[in-house]
Amino acid sequence: MIALEDGTVLTGRSFTGSGEAAGEIVFNTSMSGYQEILTDPSYTGQLVTMTYPLIGNYGVNDEDMESASVHPRAFIMREYQRFPSNYRATATLAEFLQKYGILGIEGVDTRMLTRLIRNTGAMKAIISTEDLDEASLVRRAREWPGLVGRDMVVRVTCAKPYGWTAAGPVEGAGYPEADGKRFKVVAYDFGIKFNQLRILTELGCAVQVVPATTSADEVLALEPDGIFLSNGPGDPAGVEGVVDNVRQLLGKKPIFGICLGHQILGLAFGGSTYKLKFGHRGGNQPVKDLTTGKVEITSQNHGFCVDPDSLPAEVEVTHINLNDGSLEGMRHTKYPVFSVQYHPEHAPGPHDAQYLFDRFIELMAENN
């Protein structure tokens, strides 16, 4: 049974066994890419509904991981396909969810649920195979603390620095395989997706990943050519300490921020963030690059947004969402700093926006 804070109760079937999960219920409109969505740490504390009606048909594999774990607390769909057919598949979606202790729920009227979330907004919700008392479940959904003002980054950031190579993560501080690489990049891990690291490495960067709480001085001591601010979960305004660190780095090195990293930059510039009604999650969000006039189709996953009116005069809006006009990208006009709200690393989604990593490379080249 699924209960929402507005009193709505829906039924479905668990295909992963019994359990219970509370969180913020949101929807994603991607037609494929469920493994990348499940392993994106930005979904920490959320219950994810897929609008695409059939999920699981290509199983899961060892290569499409965007982090080492699964982050939404439950995965909700219309129909689960229990017999995957794909040469890359190494397990079924049910086996994968069970391995990480995540509830998989099918048989849900996801069209009704999505319309409800669109009309009412993202809501607190609870799913249970045990407590089937509607009134109790609705009350417990309302009791869940919500995401606003809470630091979810502490739950997913790395405990220790690590490096990234073409073969994946390597333990320890320092830049791995730096010989012959053009740039050294320090990447703040707020809940980083591996494809950001894969792309930076492919573009010739030696990458050192650091925990979210790493101070500005510690980052500068690594003598990077550029600093990268990753995506991550929850409310940017609830993340402890990070905004001050980032503010101290402004003007010192080129900085590129994605999603939560972009929101943290907005706060470091002195701006503010707000919660969108139901957020943007999917692979077909149209964004206009105001610097070139081009429209790109983007991969997105966020529930908070930087308020453009709160930004100081030296920060320029570079990208806007064509569905609702919200801020999708910005750059500082004095410092080599820019960021986007969406996901140029895709995974899953269209590759239209990958050019932004080239812009970061150019920015580091200009500043060297």
Which residues are known binding-site members for L-glutamine? 42, 232, 234, 260, 263, 301, 303-304
Alpha carbon 132 to chain centroid distance?
Answer: 32
| Minimum distance from residue 132 beta carbon to ligand GLN (Å) | 31
Binding flag, residue 303, ligand GLN (CB under 6 A): yes
Residue 143 annotated in active site: no
In the complex, least distance from residue 234 CB atom to ligand GLN, rounded to whole angstroms: 5
User: Where does this chain touch ligand GLN (CB under 6 A) — which range of 166-174, 204-212, 297-305, 329-337?
Assistant: 297-305
What residues between 5 and 64 interact with ligand GLN by CB under 6 A? 42
Give the interface segment with ligand GLN, choosing from 72-80, 170-178, 302-310, 349-357 (CB under 6 A). Answer: 302-310
10 Å CB burial of residue 276 (0-12, 13-18, 19+) is middle
Q: Is residue 302 within the footprint of ligand GLN (CB under 6 A)?
A: yes
Tokens encoding 165: 């190579």
Binding test (CB under 6 A) with ligand GLN, winner from 49, 67, 195, 231: 231
15, 162, 183, 304: residue in contact with ligand GLN (rule CB under 6 A): 304
Of the residues 262, 302, 343, 346, only one is catalytic, namely: 343
Closer residue to ligand GLN, CB minimum distance, 40 or 289: 40
- Tokens 């980032």 belong to 246
Cis peptide before 348 (omega within 30 of 0): yes
> Binding site residues, as ranges?
42, 232, 234, 260, 263, 301, 303-304
Residue 118 Cβ, how far from ligand GLN at the closest point, in Å?
A: 17
Q: What part of residues 257-276 is at the interface with ligand GLN (CB under 6 A)?
A: 259-260
Specify the residue, 214 or 231, whose C-beta has the smaller distance to ligand GLN.
231
Which residue, 140 or 302, is less far from ligand GLN as judged by CB? 302
By beta-carbon proximity to ligand GLN, the closer residue of 106 and 235 is 235
Is 208 a residue that touches ligand GLN (CB under 6 A)? Answer: no
| Residue 243 interacting with ligand GLN (CB under 6 A) | no
In the complex, least distance from residue 250 CB atom to ligand GLN, rounded to whole angstroms = 20
Q: Which of residues 84, 104, 234, 283 is near ligand GLN by CB under 6 A?
A: 234
**Can 158 be counted among the known catalytic residues?**
no
SS3 letters across the chain? CEEECCCCEECCEECCCCCEEEEEEEEECCCCCHHHHHCCHHHCCEEEEECCCEECCCCECCCCCCCCCCCCCEEECCEECCCCCCCCCCECHHHHHHHCCCEEEECCCHHHHHHHHHHHCCEEEEEECCCCCHHHHHHHHHHCCCCCCCCCHHHHCCCCCEEEECCEEEECCCCCCCCCCCEEEEEEECCCCHHHHHHHHHCCEEEEEEECCCCHHHHHHCCCCEEEECCCCCCHHHCCCHHHHHHHHCCCCCEEEECHHHHHHHHHCCCCEEEEEEEEEEEEEEEEECCCCCEEEEEEEEEEEECHHHCCCCEEEEEEECCCCCEEEEEECCCCEEEECCCCCCCCCCCHHHHHHHHHHHHHHHHC
Q: Is 259 a catalytic residue?
A: yes
217: Cβ contacts below 8 Å, ≥ 6 apart: none
Q: Which of 176, 271 has the CB closer to ligand GLN?
A: 271
Catalytic residue among 259, 262, 280, 328: 259
- In the bound state with ligand GLN, the residue whose beta carbon lies nearer, of 178 and 276, is 276
Residues annotated catalytic, as ranges = 259, 343, 345
- Which residues form the interface with ligand GLN (CB under 6 A)? 42, 231-234, 259-260, 301-304
